[in-house]
Structure 1
């Protein structure tokens, strides 16, 4: 992890809400609004984008914790903008605050923790799981 990963670093994810992002896409009869899992995905992506430029090529980041409030509905066609800001770096853990807004409201807010991992070691663990060892 580079020394440039410090509190105040930000990332953003911007996306126009489409049919596949809606609750009603997976649950017929449900409201045609952006689903909570998709809003959470947008916020995790903003966090990922905040951290990514500050990693060495041998590293990646993975989500390990969330505190999340979904506060308002976003209709199809509106654009959701998720932003994440690094608040602390402790060892391999990166803490972030995040929020998502559409053209009218604060849609969601919360905190997220990501762990910076060594890609090769992580892959070895996955390979062992696949082999059942």
Structure 2
């Protein structure tokens, strides 16, 4: 399990990100928080020639959070095989679950991946 905390800033609101009109935590910002937590967790285990990329995301955003709120992202590996890792996650504000879902990342060789561009 891995946990990481984030603070809701004005830049992370739906109003600022363009995903809605309110000054509350944007759903795309929740996605970024989860991806960042999973990325950092896996990156610690890889050599410098490899990284992971997100390929699948399933999210239920249950409750709003205001500017200044502290969001704790908790991720657990559900399955890891053949360079693919599936995470289960929950995001909390205090003890309240504000979002939950699944996120999958795939290990790639950085140079090979960039050569596809």
TM superposition score normalised by structure 1? 0.80
Q: Is the CA contact (8 Å cut-off) linking 2:17 and 2:26 kept in structure 1?
A: no
- Please, which of 35, 43, 49 is the counterpart of residue 52 of structure 1? 43
* Stretches of structure 1 lacking an aligned partner (at least 5 in a row): 1-9, 127-133
Q: Is the CA contact (8 Å cut-off) linking 1:17 and 1:79 kept in structure 2?
A: yes
Matches within 5 A, 1:29-108: 30-103=21-94, 105-108=96-99
Distance 1:20 1:13, change over 3 A: same
Q: Give the corresponding residue for 2:3.
A: 12
The structure whose residues are more often helix, as a share, is 1
Deviation at 1:17, TM superposition (A): 0.6
**CA RMSD of superposed structures (Å):** 1.5
* Stretches of structure 2 lacking an aligned partner (at least 5 in a row): none
Deviation at 1:83, TM superposition (A): 1.6
TM superposition score normalised by structure 2? 0.91
Distance in 1 (CA, whole Å) between partners of 2:44 and 2:95 is: 30
Q: Is the CA contact (8 Å cut-off) linking 1:50 and 1:86 kept in structure 2?
A: no
Distance 1:104 1:32, change over 3 A: farther
Structure 1 residue runs of 4 or more that deviate by more than 3 Å after TM superposition: none
Deviation at 1:120, TM superposition (A): 1.3
